Amino acid sequence: MKILIVTHLAPFPQNSGYPIVVGNTIKGLINSGHQVSLFSLNPQKHKSHHNTEADELIKHINYYCHQIDTSISLANAVMSLFNRKLYTVERYNDAEFERLLIKEVQSGDYDIIQFEGLFVTPYLAAIRKETKAKLIYRAHHIEYLVWERLAKQKNDPVKKFYLRLIAKRIKAFELKQLTLFDAIAVFTNQDKETIQEHTGKKVPVEILPVGLDLLRYQPDYKKTEFPSLFFLGAMDWMPNREGIEWFLDNFATELTQGELRTRFYVAGNDIPERFDDYEVVGKIFIHGEVDDALEFVNTKAIMIVPLLSGGGMRVKIVEGMAMQKCIISTSLGAEGINYKNGENIIIANTPQEFHRAIKRCITDENYCKRIGLNARKLVEEQHDTHKITQRLVTFYQHTLLA
């Protein structure tokens, strides 16, 4: 098959969930003998630097990367409140990218064109006119739910009103777009149920979990500092910022002076400067982006995922499981993963539950290792990229025959 994948973010480097998913999808399809093209927007705030692995992947695909400025203008954001435009999505609409994308579609004779997330769906109408290819939408999460859940967490009435307004507008746009595709792929059963609740069964929806190339994930306990806690995630995503602020506000004193004394490491790209205020010498470390995320994970013991909003399947949890980490997460953070609480992950939804979980984990290394080993088994059984690719190809084939 000839497959074109359209993304709102260049998947290089693969240092966060979206690039990892896209990159693994491309590698799996290439290894299965399919021809892949990738057309990516590349927002200016993201540095699209390549590593050896990325450069090797690019050799095997037709790749075009288009620079775009998606920085948020306060004036445009305020104006959008009155002109009813969906500024969060329109920032990714670029006339030159659309022109080049249409040209590629016209000449490419593609079987499948896959749209990775809501921010590239404004190009759907133009592409539909130019091709007989089947158009697939992959929902990394349900976007409007992210904004609704963010609004619920806010006490400030102005912020709550603004987020609810954005959520309402995104919902109307998102649900309309979903009905225009030939098929939809999701990571979780929760997202499938949400989509079908709104669209009925007009569009086929397939659950395809996050897949990882497990050869890349080689845990080494000799390098692990025990006890230690860590968080790793992209801080340009609001649910991550919100979650880690909640955790630090609740536990910074306990980690530095109380009975949960252990080192806590926070890493990820685009960490706001205000997070420096949480840093405590020798106790709480705010790293920013790390050069080698897997090596960072390897050297830490207990992964903290305090998500209070968001949606979809968290790639970082699946990666943490692949690295045999003991993970303490909210149930929302672990959404879509076929976990068993207390066996391959620990679920905590309140400060009291997090406190109990951390206390046990930092004092019982064997318990942590057992959770981590079971987590790795789960990933091997359900998240191996080779198995997921086979299911994806079957999904494509069924869509082509429909």
Dump pLDDT digits (tens) for 300-359: 999 999 999 888 889 999 999 999 999 999 999 999 999 999 999 999 999 999 999 999
pLDDT of residue 77: 66
User: Is residue 142 located within the same domain as residue 276?
Assistant: no
Is there a contact between 252 and 286 (Cβ–Cβ < 8 Å)?
no
pLDDT of residue 230: 98
The single-letter code of the amino acid at 180 is L
Q: How many domains does the chain have?
A: 2
User: Is residue 377 located within the same domain as residue 264?
Assistant: yes
pLDDT of residue 162: 87
The single-letter code of the amino acid at 339 is Y
- Residues counted in the chain: 402
Which domain does 13 fall in, by range? Answer: 2-211+384-401
User: Is residue 237 located within the same domain as residue 266?
Assistant: yes
Tokens read off for 66? 């288009």
User: Is residue 376 located within the same domain as residue 271?
Assistant: yes
User: Is residue 205 located within the same domain as residue 228?
Assistant: no
Q: Where is 226: in which H helix or E strand?
A: none
User: 380: number of CA atoms within 13 Å, CB side?
Assistant: 12
Q: Which residues contact 140 (CB under 8 A, 6 or more apart)?
A: 17, 18, 21, 116, 117, 187, 312
User: Is residue 171 located within the same domain as residue 223?
Assistant: no
Among 85, 98, 156, 91, smallest CA distance to 119 is for 91
Q: How far is CA 77 from CA 69, 85, 162, in A?
A: 15, 9, 11
pLDDT of residue 257: 95
Phi (first) and psi of residue 333, to 5 degrees: -60, -35
Phi (first) and psi of residue 149, to 5 degrees: -70, -35
Tokens read off for 313? 């399947």
**Which pairs count as long-range contacts for 267-270, CB under 8 Å and 24+ apart, including other chains?**
267/230, 267/231, 267/232, 267/293, 267/296, 268/16, 268/231, 268/232, 268/233, 268/234, 268/235, 268/240, 269/15, 269/16, 269/234, 269/235, 269/236, 270/45, 270/234, 270/235, 270/236
User: Mind spelling out the 3-state secondary structure of 47-98?
Assistant: CCCCCHHHHHHHCCCEEEEEEECCCCCHHHHHHHHHHCCCHHHHCCCCHHHH
The single-letter code of the amino acid at 145 is L
Please tell me the pTM assigned to this model. Answer: 0.91
CA distance 174 to 176: 5
pLDDT of residue 288: 86
Dump pLDDT digits (tens) for 194-214: 999 998 878 999 999 999 999
User: Is residue 378 located within the same domain as residue 389?
Assistant: no
Phi (first) and psi of residue 324, to 5 degrees: 60, 35
pLDDT of residue 13: 80
User: Is residue 192 located within the same domain as residue 223?
Assistant: no
CA distance 13 to 46: 10
Mean pLDDT by 10 residues, the chain (402 residues): 96 86 96 97 69 76 93 69 78 96 96 98 96 97 92 89 92 96 96 92 93 95 96 91 96 96 94 93 93 94 94 93 98 95 98 98 97 98 96 98 90
Is there a contact between 132 and 37 (Cβ–Cβ < 8 Å)?
no
User: Is residue 110 located within the same domain as residue 165?
Assistant: yes
User: Is residue 231 located within the same domain as residue 261?
Assistant: yes
User: Is residue 144 located within the same domain as residue 226?
Assistant: no
Question: What is the CATH number for 184?
Answer: 3.40.50.2000
CA distance 69 to 45: 8
User: Is residue 176 located within the same domain as residue 150?
Assistant: yes
Angle between helices 17-31 and 385-401 (to 10 degrees): 70
How many whole angstroms from its chain centre is CA 290?
18
